[in-house]
Structure 1
Amino acid sequence: MRAPRESESRKLLRRLQAVMAEEAQGQARLDRIVDLVADSMQTEVCSIYLNRDSETLELCATHGLNPAAVHVTRMRLGEGLVGRVARKRRAINTADAPATKGFRYMPETGEEVFSSFLGVPVQRLGERLGVLVVQSKDAREYSEDEVYALEVVAMVLAEMTELGVFTGEGEALRPRHAQQVLIRGITGQEGSAEGVVYLHDPRVVISNLVSDDPERELARLRGAVDALRLSVDKMLNDPNHGGEQTEVLEAFRMFAYSRSWLRRMEEDIDAGLTAEAAVEKEQTAARTRMKNADPYLRDRLADLDDLSNRLLRMLTGQGRDRGDLPENAVLVAKNIGPGELLEYGRGLKGVVLEGGSVGSHAAIVARAWAVPLVLQAEGITTEALSGDPILVDGDQGVVHLRPDEMVRSAFGEKLAMAAKAQERYATIRDTPCVTEDGARIEMMMNAGLIADLPSLAGSGAEGVGLFRTELQFLTRNKVPQRGELARLYAHVMDAAKGKPVTFRTLDIGSDKVLPYMKRQDEPNPALGWRAIRVGLDKRGVMRMQLQALLRAANGRPLQVMFPFIAQMEEYLAAREHLHREIERERVMGHPLPEAIRVGAMLETPSLAFAPRRFFEEADFISIGGNDLKQFFFAADRENERVRKRYDTLNVSFLSLIEKIVARCEEAGTPVSFCGEDAGRPVEALCFAAMGLRCLSMRPASIGPVKHLLLRANLGEVRRVIEDARDEGEQTVRPAVMEYLRTR
């Protein structure tokens, strides 16, 4: 039953190819196409509707409807049968259109005289572009062959739209990727940047869609699929891949060897498409299926999507070449892992991700680099092309793509103001942070990469209050060796040039899953098996890391901090592990650290109420503000609906900070605050007013925070906070901001 359809499809595609080759403007081409399709399918009507904007369709060409309705008739997504096709991304085939649910009469078109209706979506890789429709007076349903033929034409229309073949006058015919676009996301890292787009995973552009030699195209496809299968088999046989990686690759192999996947693409080639066009047609169909699939199936279809991209690159020769990274590159990607991001280096001006979360590995790296980062910028990878001008506003979580001169001018003023502020902060870089009323505040920086350490001198930080050791594990595909870690930690100490460095032991689990570690099926990972809980259970890893730290010190002072301590016993058990390794190193004759300070990260409210003995036993305590805040308010910091609902300057949270500071003072134990809020000047001011004398933050925040603290009177701020609390205010922010405005 396939042969007639395939022959007619190929004939239609050849005629369509001839139209595309003609010298004509966009509107003229569209008019020729609707005439051609109506003639080939023997229908009275063929119409093309294209997106005017993301929510509106516009009639752009028609054969058989009232010509005066072109560029006049518009409808919202979901409105009428055409709008339903666009919204549902599925064909509608009916013999009685006026009686079909959702039908809307458009008097200016004259379509009420046509009974049958077939509409198919025009889409490319999940992006909605428009609808292609045929109609007849006869009451009949269109055959499977006719539906297929119209879908093939719609696929060609989508590719031609991407290539800008149909540009002309009118909103719906504006050149794609030419107009300015404002995309709102969320802040991953503050700061602003101006540059050009560099797509991490650039779209493959297919210019050759129609083939006259199906045998040649079948051979090309089968050869590329064989090469793809070999590459997947090679990855599976790599001894460095294991655990969850193996499961992912097994899914890859299942799809790569799928006979139905290959058969569908072969049938599209028989119908007249080139090999790459057939791959993309199947990829578009898979992405459409993803939209409404359950999460598990969506993950599996994403594997198929990735395989299709690999296959397209093999067929077209279009691949990634990072050697052409421009100087002012802003990286744009759907998502990206820490290892991939690190490969780009610190030269990036900014990063924009279509997905991601504030606690993701990419966000950690971006903060370490002080690179503006916008997350959850929906549609950015579809809208952007490499080389497009782009403005990244990390403070507001906004991206301006291809901005006009007015926007660029205003943004330039913002960048100029930020540059002047940085010059001002540079003048106080080496000034000790002492408030007007004489309080000395230590300014420490957070780090996690060797590349961060040059910021130690340039930022004015007095040391590293937190060195995240997990990044060295997350960016590898196997467990690092002890000697490798020892050399890395020694390098960190060398780069610090005598300034203190606090190494936090491995903090994995929750959102930080090692590539070679089997993911735990936990309903709430943030409250599950993570950080010190993993370390105490996986003693071999903790032991190896502690040995590496001791050897890296090589006689120098060493500060070790254990993460996510929820009760005293966990801290004591972890410290005992360290003491055993110290004794082992002593017996082996290795030099021991000159002094060892062992601390805990207070990230759970329970630890604030630990026995007094805990505060006496700990050499120091660091308040892990990011996790403590989310557990205190029971608000997931990865969930945009709730994470900003609760203010850090809420009197309840500040009272908890006050209690922790008081308990540490009673025991004579140094305490610091580490986290994003430490790098926000107003929050840092309030923490200092509550008694904290050490703050650890990203390097770029030290200047703004110090600038405010140098001009502050903590006694006055403390009274403002206490007055607001006594008056029953929920947050002290308004009172503190008013105080700062009037002083």
Structure 2
Amino acid sequence: MSDTRSGSRRLLGRLRQALAEPAEGQERLDRITRLIAEEMHTPVCSIYLFRDQETLELCATQGLNPEAVHKTRMRLGEGLVGRVAASTQPINTGNAPSQPGFRYMAETGEEIYSAFLGVPIQRLGERMGVLVVQSKESTPYDDDAIYALEVVAMVLAEMAELGAFVGEGAAMAAPHQHPVMIRGSIGQEGAAMGHVLLHEPRVVVTNPFADDAEAELHRLHTAVDELRISVDEMLTGADLKDKEQREVLEAYRMFANSKGWLRRMEADINRGLSAEAAVEKEQTAARARLEQVPDPYLRERLHDLDDLSNRLLRLLTGQGTDSGVETPEDPVLVARNIGPGELLAYGRGLRGIVLEEGSVGSHAAVVARALAIPLVINAERITTEALNGDRILVDGDQGLVHLRPEDSVAGAFRDKMAMMTKAQERYASIRRVPATTVYGPTIRLDMNAGLMADLPSLRSSGAEGVGLFRTELQFLVRSKFPTRGELAAAYSRVLDAAGGKRVVFRTLDIGSDKVLPYMKPQDEPNPALGWRAIRVGLDKPGVMRMQLQALIRGAKGRPLTVMFPFVAQFDEFRAARQMLLDEIEREKRLGRPLPKTLEIGAMLETPSLAFAPLQFYELADFISVGGNDLKQFFFAADRENERVRRRYDTLNVAFLTFLEWIVMRCRETKTPLSFCGEDAGRPVEALCFAAMGFRALSMRPASIGPVKHLLRRSNLSEVREIIDDARAHGAQSVRPAVMDWLRQQG
């Protein structure tokens, strides 16, 4: 053990000296391969680095043909080197040619070497390359050699992060300096430019080496003790009535108290690493192991281990504390994912949001839409690529992110934003005029909301009212269930801010992608089709009644409009409606003020409700088509699934014909009908809905201007003729025909 430890320390000592001496990037890599070969008594040491995400290049070697440097390349997964990079796991063999996937590189002269050991050069899941040693011996390398090479690979990754291998004749591009374009998914339309504000800043280990192992061990133990105390306090202070939540935090505490985790970090320090480098080495190794595990529960624990390691690194380095992060004047938030409460804490000061994960229906997306902040989701590797303060452009209309953009890209983006600003100025001039189409009729344009912060948009956007107020946001941003009094006060403030304009309160729509943090999650195979919205309310009548009481009391004698979500059959609406009427009677008996008027409606989000008995349409005071859910159920295409959600067009002839059926049934019973959802805010779609007979649309505030602008210039009779003609000729979508007509109209 002592020989292994002293050998590792000697190797790291020489490596530190080589990196400390002034040299260009290529010269440094050449020195490193020489000293590794000498210290490990192996004839070959080579470093392969990524040229792009799919291509590895031989960038330095001791023992192979030097003419092959910067010429030998392979794809990710190709050959043994490519397999190491793809799996992020070492390959150690005494007979390389016999291994699956072996590829012979004639130009390197490696045919005389039988033994092969390759380890990934990676940092917290970011693959940078592969470090390889080879030998003529027909036996695998021993465990000590594997450990030594993994330590060196980890140090190389840290030094690459700090730019140690860039410069004249550089072996690799300077990290976090070159422009990067990342294609994600649209979470919220709009464009923004600013500077990166990382939600969880990267901790950079500036010195992976240590002279005094005892001092580093003391630093590690002090930080681990502090970490364990903070975890204990978190567990003690949390209001955990739910058994599963307590079990999750107990597992978190178990990780923090793991003796094996601490023992491995101590061993890394004894071999020459600093405390920070030891923590990060074990974090990287754990990530690589757990990412190969098929069990979703174990993979989820990866996040716990990541979080603990990051907390420990911040304790050791002091990086990432509130005092250490300077918020730019034009912040664009970048995060792996974020909860609604955390996002609201940043407020409207954010110019844009970019998430590595997320979904179109996630809490973050709902809040971003409420705040009218451009959002791009599923932006792969953005938290790896971005650093605090980096210049960033967010194109929410295309789902694109430009990090450290070139001047030409930034210039074109500024032009786009200037055009958008000019268009908004044009829309402002028609803010107070109705959306009356050429030769009539007039279309009512309402806005969607979910926060008090949305209400000022009623005046600035020109909306005639709030067609959908999402009441679940008041539940999602809290750590515990709100009281009836708190909700009543909130609803009263909403009506105050609306200034007499109609507000449609949608009752609690939870379940599916909207899970309350204090509610036991339901393990359902398909939650979008599961226990959600009105189904929860009818099964948990105490929750529903409490909210209905809060709505009645919040009205304070003013008009009240309530809408029930996700109704699938007539009986559900009838039961929920009766529950509201019962609460009205109860408030009357208590002598409390009753709403001046009461409207009770339903969201039509399931195809089944379109074919409900006529009595449903007669009983409902109004119906609002929930386009987002209705479209996904109509096409059997999950809107969270990027592979299928864009496959089906809203202006598909079948979908428009289905909407026409709903319009006809509402006309038969004279039931007011509106269309609510993202598509209502897209001008071309809104125009087609109006042509099909919708006389009210509800959308995000920023969309009202563009929609009104197009409606006021269009003749709905002509648009309807275009749609009918396309249907008659068997078109799958009316979009091409409508777009041609719009171009002809100028």
Please indicate, yes or no, whether the TM-score normalized by the shorter chain is above 0.5: yes
Residue of structure 2 in register with 1:633 after alignment: 635
Stretches of structure 1 that go unaligned for 5 or more consecutive residues are: none
Find the counterpart in structure 1 of residue 282 from structure 2.
282
Indicate the residue corresponding to 1:292 in structure 2.
292
1-structure distance, mates of 2:66, 2:306: 40
SS in 2 for 1:324: coil
- Residue 262 (structure 2) aligns with: 262
Structural mapping, 1:104-115, within 5 Å: 104-115=103-114
Structure 2: which amino acid aligns with 1:267?
A: A
What does residue 618 of structure 1 align with? Answer: 620
What is the match of residue 548 of structure 2? Answer: 546
Partner of 2:48: 49
Q: Deviations over 1:678-716 (max 9, x none)?
A: 001111011111111100000000001000000111111
Q: Which runs of 5+ in 2 are unaligned?
A: none
Q: Which residue of 2 aligns with 1:246?
A: 246
Q: Structure 1, residues 300-330: CA drift from partner, whole Å, max 9, x if none?
A: 2222111111111111111242873222111
Distance in 1 (alpha carbons) for counterparts of 2:104 and 2:724: 66
Does structure 2 conserve the Cα–Cα contact (< 8 Å) formed by 1:374 and 1:399?
yes
Residue in structure 2 matched with residue 609 of structure 1 by the alignment: 611
Deviations 1:458-506 (A, max 9, x none): 0000000000000111111100111111111111111111111111010
SS across alignment from 1:673 = strand
**Change beyond 3 A, Cα 1:551–1:663:** same
Matches within 5 A, 1:485-500: 485-500=487-502
Does the Cα contact within 8 Å between 2:25 and 2:171 map onto a contact in 1? no
Q: Distance in 2 between matches of 1:128 and 1:450?
A: 44
TM-score, normalised to structure 1's length? Answer: 0.98
- Give the structure 2 partner of residue 4 of structure 1: 3
| Alpha carbons 1:245, 1:515 under 8 Å: kept | no
Deviations 1:644-689 (A, max 9, x none): 1111111221112111111112112111110001001111011111
Counterpart-to-counterpart distance in 2, 1:591 and 1:4 = 85
* RMSD, matched Cα: 1.5
* Separation of aligned partners in 1, 2:665 and 2:496: 34
Cα distance, 1:195 vs. partner?
1.1
Cα distance, 1:108–1:169 mapped onto 2, change above 3 Å: farther
The answer for the alignment partner of 2:741 in structure 1 is 739
Q: CA 1:320/1:448 → structure 2, altered by over 3 Å: closer, same or farther?
A: farther
SS of residue matched to 2:108: coil
Say whether 1:599 aligns with 2:601: yes
* Range moving further from structure 2, 10-19 or 397-406: 10-19
1:649 aligned partner = 651
Q: For residues 191 and 240 of structure 2, what CA distance do their matches in structure 1 show?
A: 38
2:360 maps to a residue whose letter is V
- Establish whether residue 309 from structure 1 lines up as the match of residue 310 from structure 2: yes
Counterpart residue identity of residue 426, structure 2: R
Name 2:507's counterpart in structure 1.
505
Q: 1:638 to 1:301 in 2, by over 3 A?
A: same
Q: Deviations over 1:396-417 (max 9, x none)?
A: 1111111111111221221111
SS in 1 for 2:237: coil
Question: How far is 1:172 from its partner?
Answer: 4.3
Q: Deviations over 1:585-605 (max 9, x none)?
A: 222222111111111111111
AA aligned opposite 2:177: A
- Name the aligned partner's letter for residue 65 of structure 2: N
Counting only pairs closer than 5 Å after superposition, residues 29-428 of structure 1 correspond to structure 2 as: 29-169=28-168, 172-243=171-242, 244-294=244-294, 295-321=296-322, 324-428=326-430
Using the alignment, how far apart are the partners of 1:371 and 1:169 within structure 2? 42
Using structure 2 for the length normalisation, give the TM-score. 0.97
Q: Answer yes or no: is the 8 Å Cα contact 1:71–1:170 preserved in 2.
A: no
Q: CA deviation at 1:290?
A: 3.1
Q: What is the aligned partner in structure 1 of residue 683 from structure 2?
A: 681
Deviations 1:616-660, CA, capped at 9 Å, x for gaps: 111111111111111111111111111111111112211121111
Q: Secondary structure at the match of 2:159?
A: helix
Residue 38 (structure 1) shift: 1.1
Whole-angstrom CA distance in 2 between matches of 1:171 and 1:709: 58
Distance 1:508 1:338 in 2: 14
What letter is aligned with 1:225?
Answer: V
2:561 corresponds to which residue? 559
Cα deviation for residue 257 of structure 1 reads: 1.9
Deviations 1:55-75 (A, max 9, x none): 111222222222232222222
Q: Measure how far apart 1:395 and its partner are.
A: 1.0
CA distance in 1, matches of 2:743, 2:136: 73
Name the stretch that deviates more: 707-716 or 402-411: 402-411
- C-alpha contact (below 8 Å) 1:52/1:171 kept by paired residues: no
Q: Residues 435, 385 of structure 1: CA spacing in aligned structure 2 closer, same or farther, 3 A cutoff? A: same
CA distance in 2, matches of 1:442, 1:320: 49
* Compared CA separation, residues 170 and 653, structure 1 to 2 (3 A): farther
Residues in 2 aligned to 1:709 and 1:85: alpha-carbon distance in whole angstroms: 58
Cα distance between partner residues in 1 of 2:169 and 2:536: 60
**Structure 1 segment 457-536 matched on structure 2, within 5 A:** 457-536=459-538
**2: distance between equivalents of 1:140 and 1:706?**
76
Letter in 1 for 2:77: G
Q: Which residue, 582, 586, 589 being the options, matches 1:587?
A: 589
Looking at structure 1, the residues matched to 420 and 241 of structure 2 have their Cα atoms a distance apart, in angstroms, of 46
Distance 1:66 1:538 in 2: 73
Q: Percent identity?
A: 70
> Structure 1 CA distance, aligned partners of 2:171 and 2:605?
53
Quick one: distance in 2 between partners of 1:567 and 1:79? 56
Aligned AA (2:130): V
- The answer (yes or no) to whether the contact 2:25–2:169 under 8 Å persists in 1 is no
| Equivalent pair of 1:630/1:636 in contact (CA under 8 Å) | yes
Question: What residue is the counterpart of 1:452 in the other structure?
Answer: 454
State the Cα distance separating 1:242 from its structure 2 match.
4.4
What CA distance in whole angstroms lies between the structure 2 residues aligned with 1:150 and 1:674?
A: 59
- Name which of structure 1's ranges 218-227 and 620-629 shifts more when overlaid on structure 2: 218-227
Counterparts of 1:564 and 1:630 in 2: how far apart (Å)? 13
Tell me how far apart the structure 2 counterparts of residues 245 and 163 of structure 1 sit (CA, whole Å): 39
8 Å CA contact retained: 1:444, 1:694: yes
Report the alpha carbon displacement of residue 561 of structure 1 after superposing the two structures with TM: 0.7
- Kept in 1, the 8 Å contact 2:92–2:141? The answer is yes
Q: Is the 8 A contact 1:118 1:133 kept in 2?
A: yes
Distance 1:419 1:171 in 2: 43
Residue type of the alignment partner of 1:625: G
In the aligned structure 2, how far is the partner of 1:101 from the partner of 1:562?
A: 59
